[in-house]
Each structure stands twice: as structure tokens, then as C-alpha cells.
């Protein structure tokens, strides 16, 4: 799932997360989560911030993504229910395909399809590109995205590829997460400047897919949209289970089910939003 993607069911979210949100509500716009106790990060090495260059060696990467907080075995499918800030309900289907793509910076990535529909009609279709380095860190290398209206593409704004026009790869999940780690998720100056920070490694969440313990909690922000703030919970062995937009729009996105689809189904998903096959 792309970093910028985002659910209003009153339900038993983690007590720790609720405490975080209560504390955040009392902070000013520049204070963020400063009132939340946290230990200093111990493994920031190699995690880029903002527009810092990252010297990525394609030989150091694999498309076999097994990071415990977001394993992406081909054929894995996550289904989410998203309720946006206007109360509209969307269905989000994320599939780790069997397709790979060599991006412009030379790294070969796993193609993950993220399709959003409303009332049975596709409104957004995105192909995200991820790869994992030898330290277990998942990198985000770009996306091919399109928005639709009445079955027609209305815009492909937001598409980018690491290594093209100054776009840089970012981190989605550190290989060794530690409280206080901060990193960029994607970077294209003035267009895409998303950031993540690890807040906790021991939260819990209850969503339609079940109850999850020992979840990792992140705080996601956007440098060029300072009013935007979102929290995400990742469950070990599963991936993203809950996302909460608490400022600047967004809503609630919760995991409904996770399953495995046939490999050929996953591969069939490996087309661009315009229907072209990847090489």
C-alpha cells in the first residue's frame, strides 16, 4: 500500500493507541507526539530523511519480502474497509503480485496492486513497487497510479519512479524497528515528501479481521502538508491492520480479511492502470 493511502466504527482500538491520540490532541501543530514517552532510536543507520541521497546497490535487494511487519508473499491479498472523512465507505484490495519490475535506479521491485472501489466501481488503481534490502528493510521505489470516473482515467498525478526527475526511494518498514526511528517514505521535491516514525512496538488493535497483539505503531506525516497526521498499526506476520487519519483529512481504514489467491490471479494483476503488461 502506498504511503499516502488511508478508516468510523467505534471499536476497541489499542489502549496504548488511544492514549497516544489523547496526548496528541493536546499538542500544538509543531509539537506532534512530543508528550509521548519514547526511547531513543538505536538503529537509524541507513534510514534516509527528506531529500538525503541514499546509495542503493541493486545487488543488495531482493523481491522476496519477508519483513515480519509486512511480508509480501506473491498471492497474498489484503482487503480493507475504508471510511473517509465524509463518511463514504470504500473497499480497498491490495495484492502482492508475482510480477517484478526493474525501476530506473536499477533496483528490481515486487509489484503490489492497490485497487480502491466505491459501490462496485473502481475509483483508483495503483501499482506500488517494493523491494527489501539485506538488513530486512522494505523500500518504496515508486508507483504507477490512476484515478477513474465512469471507467475513464481522469488523472495519473502522484505517479513517480525512483531515479526519474529527482525522485528518491524511501523506507516503508525498517528491518530492525526501534522506537524513535524516523525516515522518509518517498521523496519528490514539492510533490511527494512523506515521512514515517516508529512510536511503539507493543500495541494492539481489533478490526473485522480479528484481534492483533504486539503491533508496531507509526506516525505518518507529509512535509509539504504539515496539517496531515496519520497513525498506522502493523501486526507481525500480517502487515497493516489499521490506519487512522487524525488531522488534515483521511479517515479509518481497517483490515477485513487477508487471504491467498492463486499465483496466476496475482500475476494477472500485473498490468498498469492503462492495461499495459510489465516486462
Angle at CA of residue 9, ends 185 and 1, nearest 5°: 25
**CATH 2.40.360 correct for 15-24+60-268:** yes
Instruction: Give me the residue spans of the domains in the chain.
Output: 15-24+60-268
Cα within 13 Å of Cα(233), Cβ side: 28
Q: How many angstroms separate the CA atoms of 15 and 22, rounded?
A: 11
C-alpha cell at 173: 518498514
116: CB partners within 8 A, 6+ apart: 82, 90, 91, 92, 122, 123, 124, 125
DSSP code per residue over 194-262: EEEEEEEEEEEEEETTEEEEEEEEEEEEETTEEEEEEEEEEETTTEEEEEEEEESS--EEEEEEEEE--
For the cut 80, the answer to whether the pLDDT of residue 13 exceeds it is: no
DSSP one-letter code for 59: G
C-alpha cell at 249: 483529512
pLDDT (tens digit per residue) in 34-54: 333 334 444 465 799 999 988
* Range with the poorest average pLDDT among 139-153, 199-213, 253-267: 253-267
CB atoms within 10 A of CB 118: 14
Q: Is 114 helix (H, G, I), strand (E, B) or coil?
A: strand
Residue 145 near residue 97, CB atoms below 8 Å = no
pLDDT (tens digit per residue) in 210-264: 999 999 999 999 999 999 999 999 999 999 999 999 998 779 999 999 999 987 7
Cα within 13 Å of Cα(156), Cβ side: 12
For the cut 50, the answer to whether the pLDDT of residue 93 exceeds it is: yes
pLDDT of residue 277: 52
Residue 165 near residue 191, CB atoms below 8 Å = no
Q: Is 49 helix (H, G, I), strand (E, B) or coil?
A: coil
Q: Global pTM? A: 0.84
Amino acid at each position: 500500500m502506498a504511503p499516502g493511502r488511508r478508516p468510523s466504527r467505534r471499536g476497541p482500538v489499542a489502549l496504548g493507541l488511544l492514549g497516544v491520540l489523547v496526548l496528541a490532541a493536546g499538542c500544538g501543530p509543531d509539537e506532534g507526539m512530543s508528550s509521548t514517552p519514547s526511547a531513543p532510536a538505536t538503529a537509524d543507520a541507513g534510514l534516509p530523511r527528506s531529500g538525503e541521497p541514499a546509495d542503493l546497490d541493486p545487488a543488495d535487494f531482493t523481491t522476496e519480502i519477508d519483513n515480519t511487519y509486512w511480508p509480501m508473499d506473491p498471492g497474498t491479498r489484503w482487503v480493507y474497509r475504508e471510511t473517509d472523512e465524509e463518511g463514504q465507505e470504500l473497499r480497498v484490495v491490495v495484492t502482492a503480485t508475482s510480477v517484478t519490475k526493474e525501476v530506473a535506479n536499477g533496483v528490481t521491485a515486487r509489484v503490489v496492486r492497490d485497487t480502491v472501489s466505491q459501490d462496485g466501481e473502481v475509483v483508483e488503481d495503483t501499482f506500488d513497487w517494493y523491494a527489501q534490502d539485506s538488513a530486512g528493510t522494505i523500500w518504496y521505489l515508486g508507483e504507477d497510479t490512476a484515478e477513474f470516473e465512469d471507467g475513464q482515467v481522469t488523472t495519473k498525478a502522484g505517479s513517480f519512479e525512483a531515479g526519474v526527475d529527482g525522485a528518491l526511494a524511501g523506507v516503508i518498514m525498517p528491518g530492525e524497528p526501534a522506537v524513535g526511528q524516523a525516515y522518509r517514505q518517498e521523496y519528490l521535491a514539492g510533490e511527494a515528501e512523506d515521512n514515517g516514525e516508529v512510536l511503539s512496538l507493543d500495541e494492539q488493535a481489533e478490526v473485522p479481521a480479528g484481534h492483533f497483539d504486539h503491533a508496531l505503531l507509526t506516525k505518518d506525516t507529509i512535509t509539504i502538508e504539515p496539517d496531515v497526521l496519520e497513525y498506522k498499526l502493523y501486526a507481525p506476520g500480517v502487515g497493516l491492520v489499521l490506519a487512522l487519519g487524525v488531522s488534515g483529512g483521511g479517515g479509518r481504514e481497517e483490515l477485513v480479511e487477508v487471504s491467498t489467491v492463486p499465483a496466476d490471479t496475482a500475476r494477472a494483476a500485473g498490468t498498469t492502470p492503462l492495461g499495459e503488461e510489465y516486462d
